[in-house]
C-alpha cells in the first residue's frame, strides 16, 4: 500500500536556530525535582531564590508569545516535510485518502486499513537529527507523527486478552516521536498545538506572518477531509487571533498596575472594559462553530480519532510506544504521563482538547480566577487516587497564589493546596508546548496585583470594580456559550444514532436503536473530564472571583 522507499538526503533548506533561541539554550530550570522528575518547566524567580528579575509579561517573545499573533506562531507553518521525511508525509496521505470517506476507518476492519498498518510498521526508523535545526520543521514532524500514531492506534484491532493489552505504536512512529517530543516539551500524542497552532496556513501564505490582516485560512492536516474538521481547527485558530488582542490589553493593564496612580486606574478601567469586549469577541468566534461544523460529523466521524491512550476511561490499557529499550523509554517519559504508568508499557496520555489552549488559562490567571479544587473535591480526588491510582493524573501545580504572598493578598481558596493532586487545567499545562507552559507557570507564580487593587479601591474607584466584574462577567458568558457548544456537539449527539449519510461513511448499515440512554454524569471529554461537573465548575469559579458576584446561569442539557 505504501510505496517502498530508501532514505534520500536530508532537506537542505533548514534555517539555523539563532543561538539565543529557547531550543538552543540549556534551560537553567532543567534540574529535576519532586514535581517534575525530568526538569521543572518554570522560569519563576522563586526558583532562583529571588535573584532572577520578575520578567512576567503577557506578550513575551521569550515564551514564544507574539504581540500580534499571541500563541499562534508568527512565522509560517511548514505544510510538508521534504527529503527522506517525505516517507512520513506519504504514509499520512495514504491514511487520509483523497476525499471524504476515502481514508482509513476507525476500527480498521477493512483490508485497506490493515495493509496501511502493515506498510507503516515496516517503514524504517528515521533519524531526527535533520529536523532539529528548524523549529517549524520540528513542529511539523510532531504533527505528522502524532496524526500517524492516532491513525495507527484507531485502526488496530481491539485487544481480546484479559486484562487488555496496550495498543502497540510501531517503532517507525514511536522512536522519532519520542525523540522530538521532549524538544518541543510535548507528550508523544496529538495535542491542540498539532491540530490548531501548527496546522494552518494564512490567507497570503507568501507573507511570513499570521497578522490580523492575514489570518489563518487553510488547514493543513485532518483525519477525515471533512469541511467540519477543517472548520473546527480553523475557528479555534481564529479564537487565538482574537485572543492576541486580549493579551495586548492585559499587557497594557499590567503597565498601568505598575504605576497604579489615579490616571493609571482610569486607564486600567478602560482597558478592562475593552478586554471584556474582546472576550465577547472570542465567544462570538466560538459560536460560529454552531453554523460551520456539522454536529454529527464532529461526534461520529471526527472525535473518535482524537481519543488518546486513556480513551477507555480509568481501565484503559494505554498505548505501547515500541522500539526503545526499557531504560530509554523511561527517560522519554513526560510530565503528562500519569505516575501510575511509569515503568509500564501502556501509557495513558489524553487526546487533544481546546482546553489545552493557553489563552483562556492566561485570562484566568490575569483575573485571578482560581480553579483549585474545593475541600470536598480534593477529598474525592484523593479517594479516587487511592482506589484507582491511574485516575490521579500528572501533577503540575498552578494556582494563583502570588510568590511570597501574605494570607490577605492571596485568594483564600488558593492557599494551603496540597501538591499531590492536579486540576484539569493543571493537567492540561503538560499538553502545551514548553514555552507556553513556562509562560503560564511564570504568570501564575507572579500573579498580577489586579484583584487586590480592585478590592482596595472598591470604594474610591467603583468604576474599576465594575469594569473588573464586567470582564469576569464576559468570561462567564464565554463559558456559558462554550457549554452550549458542548451540549450540541457532544451531549445531544451521544443521545441519538447518526443519520444515513454518516452511517455510510462509518461503514455501519442499520442503526441499532433510535434513542440511546445516556448517563450525562458519565460523559467524558477528550481531556478525560466528567463533562457536566467540570464545565459548570469552571463557569462558577469565574463568578466567584467577582467582587460582587452575580447569579447562576445555563445548565448543560
Our finding on whether 486 is near ligand HEM (CB under 6 A) is yes
Query: Which DSSP string do the residues of 393-417 spell out, in sequence order?
Result: --------PPTT--TTTS-GGGSS-
Q: At what angle do helices 86-96 and 111-121 cross, to 10 degrees?
A: 170
Our finding on whether 479 is near ligand HEM (CB under 6 A) is yes
Our finding on whether 187 is near ligand HEM (CB under 6 A) is no
Which DSSP helix (H) or strand (E) runs through 202?
Answer: strand 200-202
Backbone angles phi, psi at 218, to 5 degrees: -115, 140
3-state secondary structure of 56: coil
Closest approach of ligand HEM to the CB of residue 118, in Å: 33
Longest Cα–Cα distance in the chain: 75
Our finding on whether 278 is near ligand HEM (CB under 6 A) is no
Total site size for ligand HEM, rule CB under 6 A: 29
| Closest residue by beta carbon to ligand HEM | 525
Choice from 141, 354, 454, 465 touching ligand HEM (CB under 6 A): 354
Our finding on whether 249 is near ligand HEM (CB under 6 A) is no
Backbone angles phi, psi at 201, to 5 degrees: -120, 150
Our finding on whether 527 is near ligand HEM (CB under 6 A) is yes
Q: Which of residues 58 and 126 has its CB atom nearest to ligand HEM in the complex?
A: 58
Q: How many CB atoms lie within 10 A of CB 526?
A: 20
482 is known to lie in a ligand binding site: yes
Quick check: bond before 163 cis, omega within 30? yes
Q: In the numeric block, which cell numbers belong to residue 255? A: 503597565
Our finding on whether 134 is near ligand HEM (CB under 6 A) is no
Residues in the chain: 557
3-state secondary structure of 242: helix
CB 254 within 8 A of CB 448: yes
Our finding on whether 273 is near ligand HEM (CB under 6 A) is no
Our finding on whether 485 is near ligand HEM (CB under 6 A) is yes
3-state secondary structure of 70: strand
Choice from 145, 197, 239, 367 touching ligand HEM (CB under 6 A): 239
b/e map of 262-281 (b: 16 or more CB within 10 Å)?
eebbebbbebbbbbbebbbb
Choice from 464, 490, 545, 546 touching ligand HEM (CB under 6 A): 490
Query: Which DSSP string do the residues of 445-469 spell out, in sequence order?
Result: HS--SHHHHHHHTTTT-HHHHHHHH
Our finding on whether 529 is near ligand HEM (CB under 6 A) is yes
Q: Which of residues 357 and 445 has its CB atom nearest to ligand HEM in the complex?
A: 357
Our finding on whether 372 is near ligand HEM (CB under 6 A) is no
Question: Taking contact as CB under 6 A, which single stretch among the options 381-389, 401-409, 464-472, 526-534 is the one that binds ligand HEM?
Answer: 526-534
Choice from 87, 173, 360, 410 touching ligand HEM (CB under 6 A): 360
Closest approach of ligand HEM to the CB of residue 235, in Å: 6
Which of the residues 7 through 66 are near ligand HEM (CB under 6 A)? none
3-state secondary structure of 347: strand
Choice from 279, 531, 545, 546 touching ligand HEM (CB under 6 A): 531
DSSP H helices, 97-134, are 111-121
**C-alpha–C-alpha distance, residues 422 and 430, integer Å:** 11
Q: Which of residues 87 and 189 has its CB atom nearest to ligand HEM in the complex?
A: 189
Question: Taking contact as CB under 6 A, which single stretch among the options 13-21, 116-124, 233-241, 325-333 is the one that binds ligand HEM?
Answer: 233-241
Binding residues for heme b: 482
Binding residues for ligand HEM, rule: CB under 6 A, are 232, 235-236, 239, 286, 289, 293, 298, 353-355, 357, 359-360, 479, 482, 485-486, 489-490, 525-529, 531, 534-535, 538
Binding residues: 482
Amino acid at each position: 500500500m505504501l510505496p517502498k522507499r530508501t532514505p534520500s538526503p536530508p532537506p537542505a533548506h533548514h534555517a539555523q536556530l539563532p543561538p539565543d533561541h529557547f531550543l538552543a539554550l540549556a534551560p537553567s530550570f532543567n534540574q529535576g525535582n519532586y514535581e517534575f522528575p525530568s526538569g521543572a518547566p518554570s522560569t519563576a524567580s522563586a526558583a532562583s531564590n529571588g535573584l532572577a528579575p520578575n520578567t512576567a509579561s503577557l506578550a513575551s517573545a521569550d515564551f514564544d508569545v507574539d504581540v500580534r499573533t499571541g500563541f499562534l506562531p508568527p512565522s509560517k507553518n511548514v505544510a510538508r516535510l521534504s527529503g527522506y521525511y517525505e516517507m512520513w508525509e506519504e504514509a499520512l496521505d495514504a491514511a487520509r485518502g483523497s476525499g471524504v470517506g476515502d481514508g482509513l476507518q476507525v476500527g480498521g476492519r477493512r483490508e485497506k486499513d490493515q495493509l496501511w498498518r502493515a506498510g507503516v510498521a515496516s517503514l524504517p526508523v528515521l533519524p531526527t537529527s535533520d529536523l532539529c535545526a528548524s523549529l517549524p520543521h520540528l513542529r511539523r514532524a510532531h504533527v505528522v507523527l502524532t496524526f500517524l500514531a492516532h491513525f495507527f492506534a484507531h485502526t488496530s484491532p481491539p485487544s481480546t486478552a484479559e486484562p487488555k493489552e496496550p495498543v502497540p505504536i510501531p517503532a517507525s512512529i514511536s522512536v522519532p516521536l519520542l525523540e522530538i517530543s521532549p524538544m518541543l516539551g510535548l507528550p508523544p500524542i496529538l495535542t491542540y498545538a498539532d491540530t490548531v497552532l501548527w496546522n494552518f496556513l494564512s490567507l497570503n501564505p507568501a507573507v511570513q506572518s499570521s497578522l490580523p490582516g492575514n489570518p489563518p485560512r487553510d488547514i493543513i492536516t485532518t483525519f477525515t477531509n471533512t469541511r467540519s474538521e477543517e472548520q473546527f481547527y480553523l475557528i479555534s485558530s481564529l479564537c487565538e487571533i482574537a485572543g492576541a488582542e486580549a493579551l495586548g490589553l492585559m499587557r497594557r493593564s499590567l503597565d498601568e498596575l505598575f504605576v497604579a496612580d489615579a490616571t493609571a486606574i482610569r486607564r486600567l478601567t478602560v482597558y478592562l472594559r475593552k478586554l471584556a469586549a474582546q472576550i465577547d469577541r472570542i465567544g462570538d468566534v466560538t459560536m460560529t462553530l454552531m453554523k460551520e461544523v456539522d454536529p454529527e460529523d464532529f461526534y461520529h466521524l471526527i472525535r473518535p480519532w482524537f481519543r488518546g491512550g486513556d480513551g477507555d476511561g480509568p481501565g484503559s490499557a494505554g498505548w505501547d510506544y515500541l522500539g526503545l529499550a526499557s531504560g530509554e523509554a523511561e527517560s522519554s517519559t513526560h510530565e503528562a504521563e500519569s505516575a501510575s504508568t511509569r515503568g509500564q508499557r501502556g501509557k495513558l496520555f489524553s487526546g487533544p482538547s481546546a482546553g489545552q489552549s493557553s489563552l483562556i488559562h492566561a485570562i484566568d490567571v490575569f483575573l485571578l480566577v482560581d480553579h483549585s479544587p474545593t475541600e470536598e473535591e480534593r477529598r474525592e480526588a484523593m479517594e479516587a487516587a487511592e482506589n484507582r491510582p491511574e485516575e490521579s493524573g500528572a501533577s503540575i501545580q498552578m494556582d494563583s497564589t502570588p510568590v511570597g504572598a501574605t494570607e490577605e493578598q492571596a485568594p483564600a481558596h488558593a492557599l494551603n493546596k496540597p501538591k499531590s493532586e492536579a486540576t484539569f487545567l493543571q493537567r492540561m499545562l503538560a499538553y502545551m508546548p514548553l514555552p507556553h507552559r513556562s509562560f503560564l507557570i511564570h504568570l501564575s507564580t507572579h500573579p498580577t496585583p489586579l484583584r487586590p487593587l480592585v478590592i482596595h479601591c472598591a470604594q474610591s474607584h467603583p468604576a474599576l470594580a465594575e469594569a473588573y466584574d464586567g470582564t469576569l462577567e464576559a468570561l462567564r458568558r464565554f463559558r456559558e456559550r462554550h457549554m452550549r457548544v458542548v451540549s450540541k456537539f457532544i451531549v445531544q449527539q451521544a443521545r441519538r444514532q447518526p443519520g444515513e449519510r454518516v452511517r455510510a461513511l462509518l461503514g455501519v448499515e442499520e442503526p441499532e436503536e433510535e434513542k440511546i440512554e445516556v448517563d450525562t454524569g458519565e460523559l467524558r471529554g477528550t481531556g478525560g473530564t466528567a463533562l457536566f461537573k467540570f464545565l459548570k465548575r469552571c463557569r462558577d469559579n469565574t463568578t466567584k472571583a467577582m467582587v460582587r458576584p452575580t447569579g447562576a446561569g445555563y445548565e448543560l442539557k
